[in-house]
Structure 1
Amino acid sequence: MEIAKNAALVVVDVQKGFEESGFWGPRNNPGADDNIAGLIGVWQETGRPVVFVRHDSVNPASPLRPGYEGNDFKEYVEARRGRGAGKELLVTKTVNSAFYGTPDLGAWLEAEGISQLVVIGIQTNMCVETTARMGGNLGYDVLVPLDATHTFDLEGPFGWRRDADELAQTSAVSLHGGGFARVVTTKEVMAAAA
């Protein structure tokens, strides 16, 4: 695996509001936060660019709504912001894709000459998957270390319910099998980026 010297780490929605299990329900992958922290550390140590993405929910009941403490980044992410040797960007959004945020992520990546993205964060099957899919559609080389993401159980139509692990696996199959991104592990990415 090759990780470009200017590959951007896109850290999606690692916010305090996702700790409110009463709102979201059961989650998977309790090791995701350690893997996210490790990847941010490697990116900052090697001078690669990091994009921090924050979801500003328009739902007044959401734990991610602006003005509520759940909108803030988790402490370990906030403590790392501004600490790296490489470029850094903060993108805020109200929809699933970081490419529809402010400032324009695509324009920034193009201006920086970045063609490879490593997408991590919350939720695997929502904003991580949507950002990875769009990145793939836009021609970026996208990697998703699945164990640096997590999601929650979800109910859909017809009373269908899927647990978080099933949803994460489905996202991985869709992204990888569909050619949108390469689904990999944190260990593989860290070894290649070191």
Structure 2
Amino acid sequence: MEIAENAALIVVDVQKGFEEEGFWGPRNNPGADENIASLIDAWQSTGRPVVFVRHDSPKPQSPLRPGYAGNGFKEYVEERRGKGDGAELLVTKSVNSAFYGAPDLDAWLRAAGIEQFVVAGIQTNMCAETTARMGGNLGYEVLFALDATHTFDLEGPFGWRRTAEELAQASAVSLHGGGFARVVTTAEVVAAAEAGALRG
């Protein structure tokens, strides 16, 4: 795996509101936050660009609604903002895709000549997956750091219910098998980013 010198890290919706288990239900991958932090650290230490995405939910009961404490980034993310040597962008959105937010993510990436990015964040099968899918459709090389994401159990049609882990695996299979993104681990990405920085 090669990580471009200007590859972006897109950190999707790592917000305090997702800690409210009573609202979301059971989650998977308790190590996600540690992995997200290590990716941010690797990107900042190698001077690569980081995009922080925040979901401003229009739903009045959502823990992610503006003006509510849950809308803010988790502490470990907030304390890392502004710390890197590379470019940094804050994108706010009210839908699943970071490409439908403000400012325009696609325009920012293209203006910087960025062709590759890594996706991490919450939720695996919602905003992280949608951002990865759209990135693939727009022609970017997308790496999806699966173990730096997590999601929650969910009920769908016909009484079907899937656990968070089942949903995460389905996302990984769809993204990777469908050619939208390459699904990878945090350790692989960090090692490749640091190796690339040494070569550079």
TM-score by length of 1: 1.00
Aligned to 1:83: 83
Question: 1:46 deviation in Å?
Answer: 0.1
Alignment of 1:35-114 (within 5 A): 35-114=35-114
Give the whole-Å Cα distance in 1 for the aligned partners of 2:99 and 2:135.
Answer: 8
Give the whole-Å Cα distance in 2 for the aligned partners of 1:15 and 1:52.
Answer: 11
Unmatched tracts of structure 2, length 5 or more:
195-200
- Give the match's secondary structure for 2:102: coil
* 1:191 aligns to 2:191 (yes or no): yes
Question: 1:71 deviation in Å?
Answer: 0.1
Give the whole-Å Cα distance in 1 for the aligned partners of 2:83 and 2:53.
Answer: 16
Aligned to 2:198: none
Aligned to 1:115: 115
Aligned to 2:137: 137
What is the one-letter code of the residue matched to 1:28?
N
User: Once the two structures are superposed, what CA deviation does each residue of 1:21-78 show, in whole Å capped at 9, x if it has no partner?
Assistant: 0000000000000000000000000000000000000000000000000000000000
Tell me how large the CA RMSD over aligned residues is. Answer: 0.2
Aligned to 2:155: 155
Give the whole-Å Cα distance in 2 for the aligned partners of 1:38 and 1:189.
Answer: 10
Give the whole-Å Cα distance in 1 for the aligned partners of 2:50 and 2:100.
Answer: 17
Give the whole-Å Cα distance in 1 for the aligned partners of 2:159 and 2:73.
Answer: 33
Alignment of 1:175-186 (within 5 A): 175-186=175-186
- Give the match's secondary structure for 1:168: helix
Give the whole-Å Cα distance in 2 for the aligned partners of 1:14 and 1:179.
Answer: 25
Give every structure 1 segment of 4 or more consecutive aligned residues whose post-TM-superposition deviation is greater than 4 Å.
none
Question: 1:152 deviation in Å?
Answer: 0.1
User: Once the two structures are superposed, what CA deviation does each residue of 1:131-156 show, in whole Å capped at 9, x if it has no partner?
Assistant: 00000000000000100000000000
Unmatched tracts of structure 1, length 5 or more:
none
- Give the match's secondary structure for 2:147: helix
Give the whole-Å Cα distance in 1 for the aligned partners of 2:67 and 2:157.
Answer: 32
Identity across matched positions, percent: 82
Give the whole-Å Cα distance in 2 for the aligned partners of 1:145 and 1:130.
Answer: 14
